[in-house]
Structure 1
Amino acid sequence: MVTRLGTDERRKLEELRKVKRLATLALAFCLALLVAAKLLTPFSPAFVYLAAFAEAAAIGGIADWYAIVAIFRRPLGLPIPHTAIIPRNQDRIGDNLGAFIERNFLAPEPVVRKLREVDFAEEMIRWLGARDRSEGLARFVARLAPQMMAAMEETGLKEFAAERVMRQLRDADIAPLVVELMDGMARDGRHQKLLDEVISALHRFLNDKDAIEAIRKKVAEELPTVLNFFRADTIILRRILRTASALMEDVRKDPEHELRAEFEQFFRAYLRRLKRSPQFRARIEAAKAQILSRPELGAVADQMWASLRTYVQEDATAETSVLAERLTGLFMDIARNLETEPKLRADINEGVVTAVSAFIAEQKQAVSGFVADQVKGWDFAQLTLLIEANIGRDLQYIRFNGMLIGGLAGLCLHVLLADILGV
């Protein structure tokens, strides 16, 4: 067993053996002194006191030797009751040690008090603030990303997330969002740009040969035959196109044109009607439901997911990972932002304390049971050697103290009984 101990423990055991030999020699010296004093008593009464001291010292030394040995093993191998205390109570020691740790070390108050002494946010800032650590964490996360996505697919998390998103979209009221978007366009003047786009589209349409021919035929159908004979349809069409083109050019160039003002009034009045129009809300909801019910939407989502998965897989094996670079910047930004956010740091610390203390409270019985099981499974012969190696030297000094104090006590009792009381 000694060979299974470390070098330091073996050294301590060697020192323990030396102290044991000294204590045994001291006990032997007390016994020899007792015999010599008894033999010399007829020659001088003073040897009576020496004999009383030596006798009590020997008794004290033997008693302390017995007490120390009984803690670890049976004295002289004899089956004496209440000896080999540690090995014989292994299970009870394990249960009591586990319960002691649960009550005193894992109780809520000391755990929370100790956790509050740690500034977890500061440790996070220091750790993430080092670029090499942030880069290492980012590379680790980037390498795990493909496995994480694969796990999401295998566990059905992707379908669950998609179903949740679709449900949220179905339940969301997007009519106010559409109105707010149009209102934002009006506030920023983008509706006038919309008008410019409409004017440009009309201008292109009216200058398209096929469109002109279609309009000419429509005009010819509405005119009398006599007028068509004199090609009035072409003359009328040219005037219409010239007038329309001139009007659109004027509107396009003049930001203050009256047509723009009319469009402004129309657009804002239309927005006011939309905000309180149940019909508009119903049309928006119907359009949303129709879009969400389209099977192509699911195919688009699958294609987007497949593209994302392919990108992540290729990025994870690339020599320079874009995802890792972005994550590195993100982690370092988190560290910089935490330095200037004392409230957020306090919230992080409190959150960690709450989470860790709750976890310890839930697991303290398991920890207690684990400690008890570990102690019960120990090799107590090995453990006894280990304990003796670390505290046995101090225990042996009890034998020296026992012999000295026992001898002085025996001497005092002899003086009290023989000289003072005359017993």
Structure 2
Amino acid sequence: MERTDAGTAPGAERVPGPGAAPAGRTAPGGGFAYGAADEERRRAVRRMKATATGLLLVVALVYVLAKWAGASGAGGWTGFVAAAAEAGMVGALADWFAVTALFKRPMGLPIPHTAIIPTKKDQLGQSLGDFVGENFLSGEVVRRRLRSVGIGRRVGGWLAEPQNADRVTAELSTALRGALTVLRDSDVQAVVGEAITRRADAHEIAPGIGAMLEKIVAEGGHRRVVDLLVARVHDWLVEHGDSVMSAVSGGAPGWTPRFVDRRVGDRVYKELMRFVTEMRDMPEHPARGAIDRFLRDFAADLQSDPDTRAKVERLKSEVLGRGEVQDLITSAWGSVRAMIVAAAEDERSELRLRVRAALLSLGRRLAGEKRLQDKVDGWLENAAVYVVTTYQREITSLITDTVAGWDAEHTSKKIEAHIGRDLQFIRINGTVVGALAGLAIYAVSQAFGG
């Protein structure tokens, strides 16, 4: 007789005890959650168990009736029926034993090689992990599968569609906004300020400034600045002539006559105006040449003179060390973040338009250029192969560790709920095939044995 658990007859179902896990709840120690679908499967298994057991009872009844009819002199046909029914019972019981032995010990007896799933659960998990690792996570299998898929070409064709490019752009914008929102401004500002300061301290700036200044002077780029400064000085002198003359007169000795001070101040002012006007209007003025020579000498000193370079470094450290400068550096992050967030939220912003155009261009190239497709496919293949070969044990351990953590009893019930219905067909088939085989054997024995 089949038993669904120790001491339970075939086709019967054990009533859950007070400690049983309710449907849809996690079973104790098993890591499984039994939902409505699992309960429906278990009901289907129970129905098939009842059908298989009912068929066993039918052939047993047929066997008893055939034997009774034969003993009553009903005829030789009763022997054929009894033989078929007897073989059917044997086949049904043998297949019941085989099916039951997968999940529990038949009749509760400690028969060797029974209750295979509960007792061999960990070994089965290890074997399953090894099978997956060898047949699904090998470098060659992964590489061959990815190459056959042609990811680069498919991604390119998908990205080349404007609606898909819009979708990716929107998703990237959302991700960017989320990342910027999560980041704490104080942390980022501290990192940015420290990074800028450390980088500035680590690199001497005087030679670079000198080389840049030398190039500017050689190309005449400084002349516009000189023009601007001279023009502004000229305009200032015109507007503040009285102030200049008063300053000169006020610096004269007290014993000089006042009209002499005024004459001197007026003379100085006129000379200043003449000098500045000539410098403004004469590109080849000697003073301009003197400025050029000064800038060239200063550029050379910045690059080669140790004293000048040391002074520049000290000035740089003093400037960077000022609180106002540090506040300016750290506050730059807030402005940058606000600018990026605003650009990410605006669908017509230059940032999003450029990202969308770049995605469309990349999609068209990926869809049409075989060389680029091969390059992208090669990157993906190498990355995937590296992951599966480097972390194969960690990936397969997910299977083995998960199976090892399952409760043996609930594991059996879960598996039986999924495949038990098909296994009950084995019992039915065993009954039918056994009956046919018994009938054939009895017929042959009657034909040749008399």
Quickly name the TM-score band, shorter chain normalised.
0.7 to 0.9
- Whether 2:177 is the aligned partner of 1:149: answer no
Residue by residue over 1:352-393, the C-alpha shift from the partner in whole angstroms, topping out at 9 and shown as x without a partner, is 766666455544423333332322222333332222222211
CA distance in structure 2 between the partners assigned to 1:179 and 1:237 by the alignment: 43
**In the alignment, which of 239, 245, 248 is matched to residue 273 of structure 2?**
245
C-alpha spacing 1:305/1:364, structure 2 compared with 1 (3 Å): farther
Greater displacement, 377-386 / 38-47:
38-47
C-alpha spacing 1:339/1:177, structure 2 compared with 1 (3 Å): farther
- Residue 93 (structure 1) shift: 2.2
- Residue 20 (structure 1) shift: 1.6
> Gaps spanning 5+ residues in structure 2: where?
1-19, 24-33, 367-371
**Contact 1:52–1:411, Cα closer than 8 Å, also in 2:** yes
CA distance in structure 2 between the partners assigned to 1:249 and 1:72 by the alignment: 108
**In the alignment, which of 72, 76, 98 is matched to residue 129 of structure 2?**
98
- Whether 2:198 is the aligned partner of 1:198: answer no
Greater displacement, 26-35 / 43-52:
43-52
Q: Which amino acid aligns with 1:285?
A: R
Residue by residue over 1:38-57, the C-alpha shift from the partner in whole angstroms, topping out at 9 and shown as x without a partner, is 44456533443333332222
Greater displacement, 61-70 / 76-85:
76-85
- Residue 199 (structure 1) shift: 5.4
Greater displacement, 354-363 / 65-74:
354-363
CA distance in structure 2 between the partners assigned to 1:71 and 1:385 by the alignment: 11
- Residue 70 (structure 1) shift: 0.7
> Gaps spanning 5+ residues in structure 1: where?
221-227
* Corresponding residue of 2:118: 87
Which structure carries more helix by proportion? 1
- Residue 152 (structure 1) shift: 7.5
Residue by residue over 1:115-135, the C-alpha shift from the partner in whole angstroms, topping out at 9 and shown as x without a partner, is 9737678679454423xx456
Task: Give the structure, 1 or 2, with the largest relative contact order (CA under 8 Å, sep 6 or more).
Answer: 1
* 1:38-187 superposed matches below 5 A: 38-41=67-70, 43-111=74-142, 113-114=145-146, 117=151, 125=165, 127-130=167-170, 133=171, 136-146=174-184, 149-150=186-187, 157=191, 161-162=195-196, 164-168=198-202, 171-172=203-204, 174-181=206-213, 183-184=215-216, 187=219
Q: Which amino acid aligns with 1:377?
A: G
**Contact 1:15–1:393, Cα closer than 8 Å, also in 2:** yes
- TM-score when normalising by structure 2: 0.68
**In the alignment, which of 270, 290, 310 is matched to residue 314 of structure 2?**
290
CA distance in structure 2 between the partners assigned to 1:399 and 1:410 by the alignment: 16
C-alpha spacing 1:265/1:209, structure 2 compared with 1 (3 Å): closer
Q: Which amino acid aligns with 1:198?
A: V
CA distance in structure 1 between the partners assigned to 2:80 and 2:342 by the alignment: 89
Q: Which amino acid aligns with 1:10?
A: E
- Residue 167 (structure 1) shift: 4.0
Q: Which amino acid aligns with 2:423?
A: L
- The share of aligned pairs that are identical, in percent, is 23
C-alpha spacing 1:141/1:104, structure 2 compared with 1 (3 Å): same
Paired residue total: 398
Residue by residue over 1:11-41, the C-alpha shift from the partner in whole angstroms, topping out at 9 and shown as x without a partner, is 2222222222221122222223333444445
CA distance in structure 2 between the partners assigned to 1:291 and 1:277 by the alignment: 16
C-alpha spacing 1:263/1:401, structure 2 compared with 1 (3 Å): farther
**Contact 1:56–1:406, Cα closer than 8 Å, also in 2:** yes
SS of 2:284 mapped into structure 1: helix
CA distance in structure 2 between the partners assigned to 1:120 and 1:284 by the alignment: 58
**Contact 1:134–1:328, Cα closer than 8 Å, also in 2:** no
Greater displacement, 85-94 / 114-123:
114-123
CA distance in structure 1 between the partners assigned to 2:116 and 2:276 by the alignment: 108
* TM-align CA RMSD: 4.7
